[in-house]
Every structure is written in C-alpha cells, then in structure tokens.
C-alpha cells in the first residue's frame, strides 16, 4: 500500500491503557487514507471525498 504523503507519527505506547486513546485511533485511520482524500484544497472537498471513501469502503466490506 502506498503512503498518502501526509503520514502522522504515532507515539510509542508506554502504558497498556494508552493504546486505546482517541488520538492513537485517529492517527491509525488517517494513515490509511489514500492521497485522493488527504490532498484537498478546501474543507468541503475533504469532507466530500471522505464521505465517498467511507461509503465505498463500507460497500466493499458488504460484498
């Protein structure tokens, strides 16, 4: 899988309880996005592409 070009770095997890923090989940999901979603000029275009990506992803899992 290719990188989206705007990868976020996850912090090393020191305690077992911190691995389920919201920020760790967000970083993990952000790094999964394709470049077409990440590289947008406006917030609205990002939202639209994110909606398209997530709806296609859910549809792909249903098949």
- Show Cβ contacts of residue 40 under 8 Å, excluding neighbours closer than 6 positions: 46, 49
* Distant-in-sequence, close-in-space partners of 27: CB < 8 Å, separation ≥ 6: 8, 9, 10
What is the DSSP code (8-state) at residue 16? G
Is pLDDT above 50 for 56?
Answer: yes
- Give the residue among 15, 13, 57 at the shortest CA–CA distance from 33: 57
How many Å apart are CA 39 and CA 29, to the nearest integer? Answer: 15
Q: Which pLDDT score, from 0 to 100, does residue 54 have? A: 87
Percent of residues, the chain, with pLDDT higher than 90:
19
- For 33-54, what is each residue's pLDDT tens digit? 888 888 889 999 999 999 999 8
Question: For residue 15, which phi and psi values (nearest 5 degrees)?
Answer: -115, 150
Predicted TM-score (pTM) of the model is 0.59
């Amino acid at each position: 899988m290719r990188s989206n070009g705007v990868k976020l770095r996850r912090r090393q997890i020191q305690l077992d309880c911190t691995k389920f923090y919201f920020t760790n989940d967000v970083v993990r999901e952000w790094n999964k996005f394709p470049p077409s979603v990440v590289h947008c000029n406006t917030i609205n275009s990002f939202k639209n592409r994110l909606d398209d990506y997530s709806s296609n992803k859910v549809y792909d899992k249903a098949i």
